Amino acid sequence: MKNIKTQILILLAAAAAFTAACRNKEIEAFDNIEKDRFIVKTEKASVRNLEEYILLTGSIKALQEATLYPRTSGKLLRNLLKEGDPVEKGQTVALIERDEVGAVYEPAPVPSTLSGVVGSIYQDTGASINPATPIALVVNQVQVRVAVDVPEQYIGKVFQGQSAAIKVDAFPDTRFNGKVYRVSPVVDSRSRNTLVEVLIDNPESRLKSGMFAETRLIVASRGAALSVPAGAVVTQDGADFVFVPAEGGLAARIPVKTGIKTDEFVQVSGIKRGAEVITFGLYGLKDGSKIKVQN
């Protein structure tokens, strides 16, 4: 038993000595770093395709939708079509049995007012109805629209025919491209927003009315744009610049002009393609500061 306890104590002592040695090495390495030298990370300036956009959310709606109502009161004799069935303009969707006492009439048709598909059937056979009772919803989803509220400060960047794109949860890896086809001429006095509608071609009917859509209004785009990570650009006194590693382990401040800006990258001019720019460790960094580039 004493031998076992002795072995355990020896192992614990060895572990403590090893931990202390590692800690001492870390302290020694830290002490060897100059206190006024900045630890930084860099990335290369690269050519990318950039899009500057306004990100908004909205709901998808078919370009053409019509709720069908009967022309007379009575009872629903039967629905001739079901949800998902194609329908032509003028085709009868349901028949109404008039309930006027002492008279016999032919069933009254409820015709579709547009061509498309039956989106919803609202009433069951035998239901009492009147001219204000909705019978069915018909939609034409060959094209869909997305209505979004654009904040007042961005209205100057939005115009009819502008490129746009949407994404939906049902197809997360697919981008559906379209264009702005309607911009409201007024700003809502309470929300300070303007209603904008985006039109999307939907030949395969993958987009459905009621879907939630992430909408991007493209305000600027540029192919093959020299750019750097957004965090590399520093703005001070109205001027933009980046820091690059220079000879002698120093940081050099380089003025740049910026163009298209996205959440990730900024288009720049004033540096060359492939130039290393500092992206981490910028706080407090100045022209001529000592740096150590960490991979």
First-to-last CA distance in the chain?
Answer: 51
Q: Fold for 70-134, please state it.
A: OB fold (Dihydrolipoamide Acetyltransferase, E2P) (2.40.50)
- Give the pLDDT score at 52: 87
Give the residue with greater pLDDT, 156 vs 4: 156
CATH code for residues 37-49+223-293:
2.40.420.20
Q: pLDDT digit string (tens) for 77-122?
A: 999 999 999 999 999 999 999 877 667 788 999 999 999 999 999 9
Report the pLDDT averaged over residues 173-187. 94
pLDDT for the residue numbered 255: 95
Q: How far apart are CA 52 and CA 233, in angstroms?
A: 16
Q: For a pLDDT cut of 90, what percent of the chain falls above it?
A: 75
Cα radius of gyration rounded to whole Å, the chain:
34
Nearest Cα neighbor of 139 from 77, 83, 220, 57 is: 83
**Would you kindly state where each structural domain of the chain is located, as residue ranges?**
37-49+223-293, 53-61+141-221, 70-134
Q: What is the mean pLDDT of the chain?
A: 89
Q: pTM above 0.75? A: no
The per-residue pLDDT for 282 is 92
- Please tell me the CATH code under which domain 53-61+141-221 is placed: 2.40.30.170
CA torsion 136→137→138→139, rounded to 10°? -170
